[in-house]
Homo-oligomer: A and B are copies of this chain.
Amino acid sequence: MSRWEDMPQGAGADQVLEMAIAAVKTADPAWERRAWDRLDSLTKPPRSLGRLEEAAARVAALQHSVTPSVERKALVIMAADHGVTAQGVSPYPPEVTAQMVANFVAGGAAINQLAQHVGARLVLVDAGMATDMHYGDGVIEAKVARGTRDMTVGPAMSRAQALQAVGLGMETALRVYAEGADLVGIGEMGIGNSTAAAAVTAALTGASPAQVVGRGTGLDGDGVRRKIDVVRRALDVNAVDPSDPLSVLAEVGGFELAGLAGVVIASAACSIPVVADGYISSAAALAAVRMAPATKDWLFASHLSAEPGHQIVLEAIGIRPVLELDMRLGEGTGAALAMGIIDAACKVMSGMATFQEAGVSDREVAQ
């Protein structure tokens, strides 16, 4: 099967997912070597651009080109609501999810400024918000349900719903691919979703609830203790099985988390590198990597969030963040900034002269 996206008519989401997983290629070591050879020939001391060179080499290897480019950038933001907010896990009321999506559409949020700054188009998806907002063309309205159920009393959603959400993410990635994209960022909006991310992280990595729970959007000490207890109860009630990532997403995840996992897998299957935002997006990416291990090669970590669980997720995936800016907003804000850095890295690699071209003495010549 050369093009997984040519799936048979009427294929179910499970079939599409299976084909996408099979289509994700690992990075080609021969192209990685070619990329480093090129980088070492450019007019700078070898490796003196540090993480910038690592990013450029990775994109070069994935694009099979020593002049990589991520000119066309898209940032997919999935929004959903969470039944677990009934447990008082966020200082903000649930209606803020829809209000913030309206703010995204109006251009007033942080992510609007940062996406514009780095030249990324926003793709907003209602994967399961509690309210019907009718945003028009600004938002892809494809809600799986009006919010998840409270994960402390049972699974947040059915396995079929999780699969539907993953399918929505894959469909969104295909749409982004069809419109043209060299780099995809993932972000999210959903009051309560740092609790879901914490539960997914604990379930997939075996970390304790206390290790993966942070202040979220601004809890105090009591709030954090309550949230740890909520995660513990959710994991107990659902008896999560780390070897079945789709079930983990269903039981203690969220529609946006499952959707973003689908975006990651399908983007990688389409040979587009993906930049994960903060804790929640990275937890979704970890679920994707557990379903399709080869997607790891296509993933960039954007920044290290102030949320303590984020480090655990990134270590579990095996990727290092590009930035450390003490950010904890979500929305894709860290992904946008990192996309700008990766863009810069590709421009450096593609635009610089070699020692030979520039007539600059290399150090071998000197000694």
Q: A113-B351, A344-B113 are in contact. Are A96 and B360 (CB under 8 A)?
A: yes
A348 to B360, CA, bound (A): 41
**Contact across chains for A44 and B353 when beta carbons are under 8 A apart:** no
**Contact across chains for B323 and A360 when beta carbons are under 8 A apart:** no
A72 contacts chain B at the CB level, 8 A cutoff? no
* B-contact bits for A184-196, CB 8 A (1 contact / 0 none): 0000000000000
- List CB contacts (< 8 Å) of A29-70 with chain B: 42-46, 48-52
**Contact across chains for A106 and B353 when beta carbons are under 8 A apart:** yes
A344 to B322, CA, bound (A): 16
Q: Which residues of B contact A365 (CB under 8 A)?
A: 93
Q: How many residues of A contact B (CB 8 A)?
A: 62
Q: Which residues of B contact A93 (CB under 8 A)?
A: 361, 365-366
Which of A8-16, A257-265, A326-334 touches B? Answer: A326-334
**Contact across chains for B45 and A329 when beta carbons are under 8 A apart:** yes
**Contact across chains for B358 and A108 when beta carbons are under 8 A apart:** yes
**Contact across chains for B329 and A340 when beta carbons are under 8 A apart:** no
A51 to B327, CA, bound (A): 7
**Contact across chains for B49 and A329 when beta carbons are under 8 A apart:** yes
A145 contacts chain B at the CB level, 8 A cutoff? no
A31 to B113, CA, bound (A): 23
A350 to B350, CA, bound (A): 33
18 CB contacts below 8 A, A to B, read A43-B108, A45-B218, A48-B217, A48-B329, A49-B110, A49-B329, A50-B306, A52-B325, A91-B367, A93-B361, A96-B360, A99-B360, A102-B358, A108-B357, A110-B352, A114-B344, A117-B343, A118-B344
Given contacts A43-B100, A108-B351, 10 further A-B contacts (CB under 8 A): A43-B108, A49-B329, A92-B361, A93-B361, A93-B365, A93-B366, A109-B353, A113-B350, A113-B351, A117-B343
A: residues with CB less than 8 A from B are 42-46, 48-52, 91-93, 95-96, 99-100, 102-103, 106-110, 112-114, 116-118, 217-218, 306, 322-329, 333, 337, 340-341, 343-344, 347-348, 350-353, 357-361, 363, 365-367
Nearest 9 A/B pairs, CB to CB:
A108-B353, A50-B326, A45-B217, A48-B329, A113-B351, A51-B325, A99-B360, A91-B363, A93-B366
